[in-house]
Chain A
Amino acid sequence: MFKVGVLSIISMIFVVRAFSYDLDASSGSLYDKYGGQAGVQKIVDESVVALLADPTVASYYVVIGQSGHDTADRLKSCLDLQFTVLMGGLGKYPGVSHYRNAPKRGYTCENMKVAHSDLGINNQAFDQFVMILGSVLQRAGVDRKDVDILAPTLLGLRSDVVTKTILP
């Protein structure tokens, strides 16, 4: 169950708590500061590598592309959109993402509560992914004060994502 929860967390971790928001890119946004789309994709890619390194987590990803599950491209594309919006770039989440190898119409990225409702994520798994992604941000050179800006949004997702409360 932890494994299943894992991917769900990945796909939510960089999203905002509110299900819908819209931000305009402006000079001085974190999106611009950290290299725009290239910077966002680097963070998404490193997060996925950190997660796949773990054999107990990687098993979930094997089903990516199979019927009823995300494709790798769709997953990364939606993560790109979430990150972009979170960091003040152009876009709206949930919404349609055209990043990566998205088809012409783009990928539809659903809200976090719906996306994670059937994944049985517990608090322990959520904490584990906050750690992984927090350290990816720091390692990628995101300033401490900017992590502070992003953190409340990430942590605020707990109530939307955690559906199991076996552990505190």
Chain B
Amino acid sequence: MKEFFRSRFCRGVLGFTTATLLIVAFVHTEIAKKLSLSPDVLAWIGVACPASLATSAQVDELRQEVLSDLRGKEKAPSYPALDWSLNRANEKGLLRQLRMKQFDCEGKIKSYRVIECKRVPAKNENIIADKLIFVMDEDQKLMAVEVFYRQLSSQYAIRHLQKVFTALKKQLGKPSYQMGSWTPDYFRKEMNSSILEYKYQDYLAKVTATRLPKKGVAIYEQYLLLR
């Protein structure tokens, strides 16, 4: 037995374990934070932040706590999300379509399975989205779509907002909530925000537009299935 504990193998295992524990302990200290030890570095040394390890079921459970504040009373007649329909499109079909459109997209697992696309041109418009994100549920069906534009002129932003509104109105009718206005004057004022919202028991479409200081108008569209 004594010989075993003195063996090179045993000392190696003990040494490795101790070193690992010390590293893990260190990265959770204030000193490590002050040294700007980034999550990338942590991932590189094999100590990924638990945030990236949460399961979609865990995230669903957490979201349930707040979704009641976002739900409307009735069920949605349909689940529009840009050119797609939530709860219908699946990952395979989506990837095929995105490839055909030649978008720069990448599949990732971030609790949910997501497809992230960068620099996506808006259909029939002269604007480009910083990012377009598709979130899939456990059955690989589309459960959320988000798109984010920045640095738009008020002219392009208003045109885009009207286009989004027309598309939603066609399928869902009158919005549940509207705040702000879509005029050049309104978007001239920094930090002015407008919201367009369609709230249902099982679906939320929310479009937020804000005039960011020195950065033009930003538009954040969210299409979410609320289960």
Chain A residues packing against B (C-beta within 8 Å): 1, 3-4, 48-49, 52-56, 58-63, 66-69, 114, 117-120, 124, 127-128, 130-132, 134-135, 138-139, 144, 147-148, 151, 155, 163, 167-168
Contact = CB atoms under 8 A, between A and B. Distances in A.
Interface in B185-217: 189-193, 195, 204, 206, 208, 210, 212-213, 215
A53 B204 contact: yes
B193 A3 contact: no
Q: Is the interface of A mostly helix, strand, loop or mixed?
A: helix
B28 A68 contact: yes
A148 B30 CA distance: 35
A58 B193 contact: no
A134 B179 CA distance: 12
B180 interface: yes
B19 interface: no
Contacts of A48: 66
A134 to B, nearest CB: 5
Interface of B: 28, 30, 32-34, 36-40, 42, 49-52, 54, 58-59, 62-63, 65-67, 69-70, 110-112, 114, 130-131, 133, 135, 143-144, 146, 148, 150-151, 179-180, 189-193, 195, 204, 206, 208, 210, 212-213, 215, 218, 220, 222, 224
A54 to B, nearest CB: 7
21 contacts: A3-B110, A4-B51, A49-B69, A52-B62, A52-B65, A53-B66, A53-B67, A60-B51, A62-B59, A63-B50, A117-B34, A118-B39, A124-B131, A124-B148, A134-B193, A134-B210, A138-B179, A139-B195, A148-B191, A151-B213, A155-B213
A59 B59 contact: yes
Contact of B112 (A59, A134, A135): A59
Nearest to A51: B66
Contacts, number: 138
Nearest to A167: B130
